[in-house]
């Protein structure tokens, strides 16, 4: 395949679609390629053939943000429905509510604490000998103590990341809230929702411009010809043909099951015990409560996490010490590239929520469109992954 006088955009997920749209509105033509046979990347949604339930094919995605501009932007391309993520957890054959809140604390300890009583109780439970937490486990023990850590975090984290929690950075746990009220909304953002007709519709709408050509089932390595510029949203190490080695990722496997009626009565249940091989079960009709009552049957995904091998879909960057050292080497290579900008979660080896992905894509194009029109030198990384 050859193309001239166009920008090449590698990846048809949110990063690529937003960039293509912004370029098109500025009068710049682009070719968007993706090696998969569908749009949307890991946000891809489709109707289940047996039940007509809208499936989050690569795992559930709930849109949440405090960025009003990003919320307005995504609503240009879809009708967002309100959705609150209320997660349940099974630990030692008992069901609890997440994130850790006043109900969780009272459930686990068999108490009826008030908010202030719970705060004091958790202070007593915390390991006060840990003054400067150096890893995930120390951070948890210093925050909530041994009982809560072992009930909800230790086994789940071991399964999710495949390493001892002592090897994970403390910063991971800082993102997990502990509340002393009965608020079980997993997120605290001002804007939360799920698109009425799924995420694929958003990407299709973004790319519906005459200036945008889309080629699915097309690998970046197979593209020939000169382009005005390339926006690369694929894995950073793959761009360089893994010449320095592979960056570590976790991938997910899903076991699909169909059931009559309801299966678990909610969208997400985490399974925290290490002896249970899966991390969670998701029931997808509950991600669309506005149409839930029309379904007489249901479809579930049982989710397993493992190390990402060659040929697998990368989900979560592990970013352990060795990965960070390797990342620095790849960033050095990338900074010496010409005619390419690395953008998005894979190209920057960074876990990004959807709203941050969109925000960064908007910022990138806002900065580069004037330079593209003037033919000036362009940075390889607008947002450094280090």
Catalytic site positions? 175, 179, 250, 280, 303, 351, 353
Alpha helices in 285-339 (DSSP H): 321-335
Cα–Cα distance measured from residue 296 to residue 262, given in angstroms and rounded to the nearest whole number: 8
Name beta bridge partners: 251.
306
- 9 within 8 A of 30, measured Cβ to Cβ: yes
Q: What is the largest CA-CA distance in the chain?
A: 69
- Among residues 7, 8, 3, 9, the alpha carbon closest in space to that of 344 is found at 9
- 372 within 8 A of 28, measured Cβ to Cβ: yes
- 314 within 8 A of 169, measured Cβ to Cβ: no
Residue 363 CB-half CA count within 13 A: 14
What interhelical angle do 14-25 and 354-374 show, nearest 10?
A: 40
338 CB neighbour count, 10 Å cutoff:
8
- 310 within 8 A of 245, measured Cβ to Cβ: no
Rounded to 5°, angle at Cα 148 from 152 and 156: 20
């Amino acid at each position: 395949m050859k193309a001239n006088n166009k920008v090449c955009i590698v990846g048809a997920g949110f990063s690529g679609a937003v960039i293509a749209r912004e370029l098109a509105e500025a009068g710049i033509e682009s070719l968007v390629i993706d090696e998969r046979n569908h749009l949307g990347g890991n946000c891809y949604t489709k109707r289940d053939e047996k039940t007509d339930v809208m499936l989050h094919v690569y795992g559930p995605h709930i849109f949440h943000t405090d960025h009003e501009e990003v919320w307005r932007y995504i609503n240009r391309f879809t009708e967002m429905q309100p959705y609150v993520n209320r997660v349940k957890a099974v630990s030692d054959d008992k069901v609890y509510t997440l994130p850790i809140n006043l109900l969780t604390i009272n459930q686990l300890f068999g108490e009826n604490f008030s908010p202030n009583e719970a705060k004091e109780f958790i202070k007593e439970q915390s390991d006060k000998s840990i003054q400067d937490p150096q890893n995930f486990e120390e951070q948890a023990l210093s925050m909530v103590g041994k009982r809560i850590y072992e009930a909800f975090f230790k086994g789940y984290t071991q399964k999710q990341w495949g390493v001892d929690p002592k090897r994970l950075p403390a910063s991971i746990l800082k993102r997990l809230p502990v509340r002393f009220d009965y608020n079980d909304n997993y997120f605290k953002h001002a804007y939360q929702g799920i698109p009425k007709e799924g995420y694929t519709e958003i990407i299709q709408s973004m790319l519906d411009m005459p200036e945008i050509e889309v080629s699915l089932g097309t690998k970046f390595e197979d593209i020939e010809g000169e382009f005005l510029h390339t926006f690369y949203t694929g894995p950073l190490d793959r761009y360089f043909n893994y010449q320095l080695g592979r960056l570590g990722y976790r991938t997910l496997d899903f076991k699909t099951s169909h059931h009559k009626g309801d299966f678990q009565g909610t969208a997400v249940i985490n399974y925290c015990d290490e002896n249970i091989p899966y991390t969670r079960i998701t029931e997808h009709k509950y991600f669309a409560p506005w149409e839930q009552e029309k379904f007489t049957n249901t479809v579930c995904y049982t989710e397993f996490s493992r190390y990402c091998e060659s040929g697998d879909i990368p989900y979560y960057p592990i970013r352990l010490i060795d990965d960070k050292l390797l990342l620095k080497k790849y960033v050095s290579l990338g900074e010496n590239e010409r005619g390419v900008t690395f953008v998005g979660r894979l190209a920057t080896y960074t876990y990004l929520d959807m709203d941050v992905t969109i925000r960064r894509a908007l910022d990138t194009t806002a900065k580069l469109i004037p330079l593209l029109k003037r033919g000036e030198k362009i940075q390889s990384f607008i947002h450094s992954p280090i």
